[in-house]
């Protein structure tokens, strides 16, 4: 199967987070646990369901990813933008404004 | 400007307290996400791609310097120093924390603002012509009626669970600057044969996956009947609109399935039952609201300001900005100034806190403390003396706000797209940036003239691509961003839905494709011919050939 990682948004501030090897949630996708089997993904989603009930996160789901030199990296454009933030610089380029 | 009365204040304050309690209960675990979600949406709070997003209503797009300053303050203290003005005259903050939102709403309440009914299946912020009260072609200020609609529709118990969201726009002018034909209900003030003023009522317009131009259900509706008639329309919709399929739930689908005559008949029947009821608008009530929108105390000026004309002759850059961004005002010696939030390479509709503070300052100093937000995602100073325009322009220029492109091809409407939005299939903002930069560098903007180029990142069409001369729709093709082009749309009195021109283009190729369309237009147009006129005259073939080669 294609490898997967489990992601969600943190309840308090909405930040994008990833489920790690230790079963914690990290803002860095590099920390994400890359699941190689359906059973492993199911177990990660069980952890996520528990943390949803514990009000740590909202909207958990598994998404397809691959292993890269920098760690797990999503396959879809949507998830890449979600992982790295908007692809545009925001704010006005002129100093002071 | 309209000021809150004690009912408005109480209602907004109570709502803030209620939401504070709901957030506390969510965090404490007394509310599940499923229970909480509709509550947060009822307060304009979405969960987007990267974070929560708070959408704040700007009723009929009018706000004071104090209100704009508060938006800047919120951007600075609770967000990342900027906000995004939307195509429905609202503002969105992209990064608030859930636990800060009750405080943000409390701050907004101090300046008579809120986020009520900016989401959910309810009647949303009623929009209006951004030149309301100052346009030369206006019969009457549409905000009087937008405000009456706001009062009627806020927390309307019967319409709190509509089949789908519901959007109303009002114009009082000959030129349609409010895109009334693309709303669930569009209202156009006009005079009937007897010289009385009333509304043409259009129903069932919209964009999204099924773009439809609204149809007239009533050619003339007396003002006294406005709210009763709207209530009748909403009742018919609430009863017969589909709730089984989200894609078929908007009123446009209902009107299409019944046929406009049958639909109008159902509305008239309901209207007959309630026309003399509690919703009748007596002239005194209309006058009371009208007083809130009374023109400011203009100086009586003889006409065009001589120094202003001299300054324009002396300064080419200022003169060019006046040509593109300054509109005639109904009061002699005054002007309407469009402030573009579309600098080349910038993000359409975004303003930093510093820019918002400057806009507030300019409004207070030069525009009777009033600003407008347009559905094209720009800002307007509605009442400025011609004599002050050069100073205003210099201040705007220093803040990166003097882009001279109002209504030109780089005045691009773009939704947040895949950079922010959970629903998007493709990015919109970088495409707008690419095209904006390319067209600006080509030096042909002025030659191209007035042109609408709009971009949506998904079929929901928040970027109004259906209503553009050149519309761009982002689509997902096997995980890759592609862009489909539609041509010939218009949101104005010649309303039209753009036609898909052919297969879509990759992210890398989309700006080149736009340039080829413009080349074709420039080479084939007749003198002074607008894009839509050329399109209607020559049809799609020359554009297809330019894009895809001869068949």
Q: How far is CA B319 from CA B216, B311, B359, in A?
A: 41, 8, 21
pLDDT of residue A93: 46
Which of B479, B482, B507, B508 should be substituted to probe chain A, the one whose Cβ sees the most A Cβ atoms within 10 Å? B479
Q: CB–CB of A82 and B50 under 8 A?
A: yes
Q: CA-to-CA distance for B29 and B128, rounded, in angstroms? A: 41
What is this structure's pTM? 0.96
Name residues 325-384 of chain B within 8 A of A (Cβ). 346-347, 350, 352, 354-355, 358
Name residues 380-419 of chain B within 8 A of A (Cβ). 399-400, 418-419
Per-residue pLDDT of chain B (551 residues; tens, 9 = 90+): 888 999 999 999 999 999 999 999 999 999 999 999 999 999 999 999 999 999 999 999 999 999 999 999 999 999 999 999 999 999 999 999 999 999 999 999 999 999 999 999 999 999 999 999 999 999 999 999 999 999 999 999 999 999 999 999 999 999 999 999 999 999 999 999 999 999 999 999 999 999 999 999 999 999 999 999 999 999 999 999 999 999 999 999 999 999 999 999 999 999 999 999 999 999 999 999 999 999 999 999 999 999 999 999 999 999 999 999 999 999 999 999 999 999 999 999 999 999 999 999 999 999 999 999 999 999 999 999 999 999 999 999 999 999 999 999 999 999 999 999 999 999 999 999 999 999 999 999 999 999 999 999 999 999 999 999 999 999 999 889 999 999 999 999 999 999 999 999 999 999 999 999 999 999 999 999 999 999 999 999 999 999 999 76
Q: How far is CA B394 from CA B17, B321, B365, B403, in A?
A: 43, 11, 14, 11
Which of B81, B98, B347 is opposite residue A11, by nearest beta carbon?
B98
What is chain B's alpha carbon radius of gyration, rounded to the nearest angstrom?
23
Q: Who's near B337: CB < 8 A, 6+ residues apart?
A: B325, B326, B327, B367, B380, B381, B384, B389, B392
Q: Is B85 on the interface with A (CB under 8 A)?
A: no
Contact B487, B544 (CB under 8 A): no
Residue from B238, B173, B167 nearest B203 by CA: B167
Name residues 5-44 of chain A within 8 A of B (Cβ). 9, 11-16
Q: CB–CB of A9 and B51 under 8 A?
A: yes
Q: How far is CA A39 from CA A1, A34, A45, B9, B22, in A?
A: 11, 12, 10, 55, 37
Q: CA-to-CA distance for B123 and B42, rounded, in angstroms? A: 11
Contact B320, B404 (CB under 8 A): yes
Q: Is B480 on the interface with A (CB under 8 A)?
A: yes
ipTM over 0.85: yes
Which of B400, B424, B427 is opposite residue A87, by nearest beta carbon?
B427
Q: CB–CB of B29 and A85 under 8 A?
A: no
Q: Which residues of A touch B27 (CB under 8 A)?
A: 11-12, 55
pLDDT per residue over B14-33, tens digit each?
999 999 999 999 999 999 99
By C-alpha distance, the chain B residue nearest A74 is B479
pLDDT per residue over B279-310, tens digit each?
999 999 999 999 999 999 999 999 999 999 99
């Amino acid at each position: 199967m294609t490898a997967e990682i489990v992601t969600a948004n943190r309840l308090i501030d909405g930040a994008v987070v990833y489920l790690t090897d230790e079963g914690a949630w990290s803002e860095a996708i590099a920390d994400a646990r890359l699941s190689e089997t359906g059973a492993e993904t199911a177990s990660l989603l069980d952890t996520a369901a528990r943390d949803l009930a514990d009000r740590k996160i909202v909207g958990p789901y598994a998404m397809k990813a691959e292993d890269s030199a920098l760690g797990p990296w999503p396959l879809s454009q949507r998830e890449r933008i979600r992982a790295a933030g908007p692809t545009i610089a925001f704010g006005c380029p002129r100093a002071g404004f | 400007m309209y000021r809150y009365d004690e009912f408005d204040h109480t209602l907004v304050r109570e709502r803030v307290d209620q939401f504070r309690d709901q957030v506390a209960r969510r965090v404490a675990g007394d509310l599940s996400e499923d229970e909480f979600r509709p509550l947060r949406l009822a307060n304009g709070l979405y969960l987007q791609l990267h974070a929560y997003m708070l959408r704040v209503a700007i009723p009929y797009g009018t706000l004071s310097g104090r209100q704009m300053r508060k938006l800047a303050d919120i951007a600075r203290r609770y967000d990342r120093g900027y906000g995004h003005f939307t195509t429905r005259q609202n503002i969105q903050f992209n990064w608030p924390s859930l636990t800060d939102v009750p405080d943000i709403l409390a701050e907004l309440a101090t300046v008579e603002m809120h986020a009520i009914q900016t989401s959910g299946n309810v009647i949303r912020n009623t929009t209006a012509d951004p030149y309301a009260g100052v346009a030369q072609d206006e019969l009457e200020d549409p905000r009087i009626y937008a405000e009456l609609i706001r009062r009627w529709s806020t927390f309307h118990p019967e319409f709190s669970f509509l089949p789908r969201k519901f959007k109303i726009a009002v114009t009082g002018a000959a030129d349609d600057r409010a895109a009334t034909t693309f709303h669930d209900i569009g209202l156009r003030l006009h005079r009937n044969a007897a010289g009385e003023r009333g509304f043409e009522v259009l129903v069932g317009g919209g964009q999204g996956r099924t773009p439809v131009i609204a149809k007239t259900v009533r050619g003339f509706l007396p003002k006294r009947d406005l709210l009763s008639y709207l209530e009748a329309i909403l009742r018919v919709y609430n009863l017969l609109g589909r709730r089984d399929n989200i894609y078929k739930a908007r009123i446009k689908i209902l009107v299409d399935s019944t046929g406009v005559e049958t639909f109008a008949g159902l509305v008239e029947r309901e209207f007959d039952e309630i026309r003399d009821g509690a919703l009748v608008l007596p002239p005194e009530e209309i006058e009371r609201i009208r007083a809130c929108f009374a023109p400011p105390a203009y100086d009586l000026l003889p006409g065009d300001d001589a120094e202003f004309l001299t300054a324009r002759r002396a300064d080419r850059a200022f003169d060019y900005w006046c040509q593109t961004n300054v509109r005639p005002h109904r009061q002699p010696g005054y002007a309407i100034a469009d402030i573009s939030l579309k600098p080349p390479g910038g993000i359409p509709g975004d303003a930093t806190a510093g820019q918002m503070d400057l806009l507030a300052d300019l409004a207070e100093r030069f525009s009777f403390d009033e600003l407008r937000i347009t559905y094209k995602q720009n800002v307007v100073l509605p009442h400025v003396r011609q004599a002050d325009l050069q100073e205003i322009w210099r201040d705007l220029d220093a803040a990166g706000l003097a882009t001279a492109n109002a209504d030109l091809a780089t005045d691009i409407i773009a939704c947040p797209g895949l950079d922010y939005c959970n629903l998007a299939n493709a990015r919109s903002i970088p495409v707008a940036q690419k095209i904006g930069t390319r067209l600006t560098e080509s030096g042909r903007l002025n030659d191209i003239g007035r042109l609408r180029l709009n971009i949506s990142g998904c079929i929901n069409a928040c970027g109004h691509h259906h209503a553009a001369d050149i519309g761009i729709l982002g689509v997902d093709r096997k995980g890759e961003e592609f862009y489909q082009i539609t041509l010939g749309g218009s949101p104005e009195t010649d309303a039209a839905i753009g036609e898909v021109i052919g297969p879509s283009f990759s992210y890398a190729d989309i700006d080149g494709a736009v340039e080829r369309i413009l080349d074709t237009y420039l080479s084939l147009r007749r003198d002074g011919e607008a894009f839509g006129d050329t399109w209607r005259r020559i049809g799609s073939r020359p554009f297809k050939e330019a894009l895809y080669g001869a068949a």
